[in-house]
Structure 1
Amino acid sequence: MRRLQEGARSQAERIAARFAGIDTFVFDLDNTLYPPSSDLWPKIDDRITLFMMRLFGLDSLSLRALQKHYYLQYGTTLRGLMTEHGVDAATYLHYVHDIDRSSLEPDHTLAAAIAALPGRKLILTNGSRDHAVKTARQLGLDHLFEDIFDIIAADFVAKPDPGVYARFFEKHAVEPKRAALFEDIARNLIVPHQHGMTTVLVTPREGEILERESWEVAHGSEPHVDFVTEDLCGFLERIVASVRTTDF
C-alpha cells in the first residue's frame, strides 16, 4: 500500500511539474476523445473497405491488405488512394464518415474535465472536420474546442508526417513547448515530442481486446511518450488538480 501511495504521489508530482507551463491542450479524435472500445472506428474501417470494393471491384479480404498497406505507408488510406489512383478526397471523406454515431453517449464528466483545463483546446485529426464536429457534438464536447485542424487543413498529408505538425503550429500559433498532445497512436507522438510538446499516449483499458496492427501497439515505454493513461478523463482531472495546487 505504501508503495502504491508513493507511486501515485510521484506521478502527481510529475504531472504538476510538466503541466505547470502548458497553455494549449491538443487532442486527437478517434479512439482518444471516445473510448477505443467504441464501435465507431470499426464502422469507419468497414466503410473504407466498402469504398475500395466499389472502386476496384475486388473482394474485401484482398482489399483489407491493400488498405492497411496504404495506411502504414501514407498515414491514411485516403492519401494512398489519392496518390496512386487519383481518388477524389471529398467523395471519399463523405462516404467513409457517413456512419451512425448514436452508440456514443454524451460524456459529461469528460466535458467538465476538458472545460477545466487552463488554456486553449484544439483537435488535431487525420479525419475530416465534419466527422470531428459530428462526433464531438455526439459526445457533448463540441463547444469546448477553439478549432479543429483536419486532414483538409493539412493538405491531405497525415500524421505522423512532420509537415502536418508544422502547418498546425503555424496556423494556430502554437508554441510546442507550452502545448500537450493526447493521442492513441504512439508513432504520432514522435515529431511532437521532438518539438518539445508534452506527449500523452491514451491506451485501451486493461482487458480490452482491439483490432490493431502490430506497429500500432505501444505500451508507453517509448522515449517519445511522456505519460501513458487508459483513463483520459481521470488524467485530465489530475492535471487540473495539480495546477490548482500549484496556484495556491
Structure 2
Amino acid sequence: MRAAEAFAQKDIWVFDLDNTLYPAGSDLWPKIDARITLFLAHLFGLDGMSSRALQKYYYQRYGTTLRGLMEEHRISADDYLAFTHDVDRSGLIPNHSLAGAITALPGRKLILTNGSRDHALRTAKALGLDEMFEDIFDIVAADFIPKPEAATYERFFDKHDVDPKRSVMFEDLARNLIVPHSRGMTTALVVPAPGEMDHREAFEITSEVVPAHIDFVTSDLEGFLVEIVTGLNGGAPATPVEGARRR
C-alpha cells in the first residue's frame, strides 16, 4: 500500500506521549514508575514490594494507578501527579529529525496522554518537540478516566473537534487503539526496536499476531513519519520499516 493511499485524506495526527514520542528504552518511564511505587509506599506505609504489587493491581484494574487511588481512597490527584512526574528528564535527547518529520505532516498535531499536561509539556520540551503540537489532552481533561475507556476518546474528539475518519493515532499500547480504530481512526502501534528495552507490562505486549484493530506497526516512528510524508509528496511506495509489519 502506498503511503499516499493510506494517509491521503488524513490531516489530524494524534500522538501518545510516554514510550511513543521518546524511545521505549529511555529511562524516563522507569523513573516515573518508581515514583508511583514510592508514592504508594509513603501513602500506606508499605514496604517496596507490597507497594509495587498494589500499584500494579490498581493499574491493571483501573487503567492507571491514580484512578484506583481516587476510586478507592479519594486521594488528591494534584498531589499524585506532582509527585510522580517530578523526575529528571536530562536523559532525554532532543530529536530534531522527529521534530522535522512531525512538522512536515499536513494538518493538526495533538498529544493524547494518560499523564498530566505539565508532564507532557516538560517532556516535549526536553525532546525538542514543544513547538510541534497544537494542544495536549491530558488525564485532567479526561476527568481522570484513562485510555482505553471510550469516554476518554469521546471527550477528546469533542474538545478538539476531531473527526476520527480524518485522523491517525500513534500509541505504544495496542489496547489503547481499539476504540480509535472502531471510530474510524487509522491506527499505528509504536513498538520497541529490536534489542531495545521494553517497559510495558506483560499483559500489554502484543503477540506475534497483529490484532485487527492495528493498521500499522513500527519500531521507528521517525522513519515511519518520513515515509508517510514522502508518500504524500508523491515519493516512493511505502515499504516496511525494519522491525515493522503491516496488515
Deviations 1:211-240 (A, max 9, x none): 332211015711110000000000000110
Aligned match of 1:65 in 34, 53, 67?
Answer: 53
Mapping of residues 5-44 of structure 1, within 5 Å:
10=1, 13=2, 15-44=3-32
User: Which segments of 5 or more consecutive residues in structure 2 lack a partner in the other structure?
Assistant: 236-247
Structure 2 Cα separation of the partners of residues 241 and 211 of structure 1: 31
Aligned letter for 1:235? F
Structure 2 Cα separation of the partners of residues 26 and 128 of structure 1: 16
User: Secondary structure of 2:10's partner?
Assistant: coil
Q: Please state which structure has a larger fraction of its residues in helix.
A: 1
Instruction: Please say if 1:129 is aligned against 2:130.
Output: no
Aligned letter for 1:164? T
* Alpha carbons 1:27, 1:123 under 8 Å: kept: yes
- TM-score where L is the length of structure 2: 0.93
Structure 2 Cα separation of the partners of residues 61 and 99 of structure 1: 21
- TM-score where L is the length of structure 1: 0.92
Structure 2 Cα separation of the partners of residues 200 and 138 of structure 1: 24
Instruction: Please say if 1:95 is aligned against 2:54.
Output: no
Give the Å deviation of 1:188. Answer: 0.1
Deviations 1:16-44 (A, max 9, x none): 21101001000000000000100000000
User: Secondary structure of 1:142's partner?
Assistant: coil
2:216 corresponds to which residue?
227
Mapping of residues 79-158 of structure 1, within 5 Å:
79-158=67-146
Aligned letter for 2:184? G
* Alpha carbons 1:201, 1:220 under 8 Å: kept: no
Aligned letter for 1:30? D
2:241 corresponds to which residue?
none
Structure 1 Cα separation of the partners of residues 102 and 196 of structure 2: 24
User: Secondary structure of 2:233's partner?
Assistant: helix
Deviations 1:71-123 (A, max 9, x none): 11111100000110111000000000000000101100000000000010000
Question: Aligned residues: percent identity?
Answer: 63
* Alpha carbons 2:24, 2:199 under 8 Å: kept: no
Give the Å deviation of 1:124. Answer: 0.1
Structure 2 Cα separation of the partners of residues 236 and 29 of structure 1: 16
Runs of 4+ in 1 over 4 A off after TM superposition: none
Call closer, same or farther: CA 1:44–1:220 in 2, change over 3 Å: farther
2:234 corresponds to which residue?
245
Call closer, same or farther: CA 1:220–1:189 in 2, change over 3 Å: farther
Deviations 1:158-177 (A, max 9, x none): 00000000000000000000
1:3 corresponds to which residue?
none
User: Which segments of 5 or more consecutive residues in structure 1 lack a partner in the other structure?
Assistant: 1-9
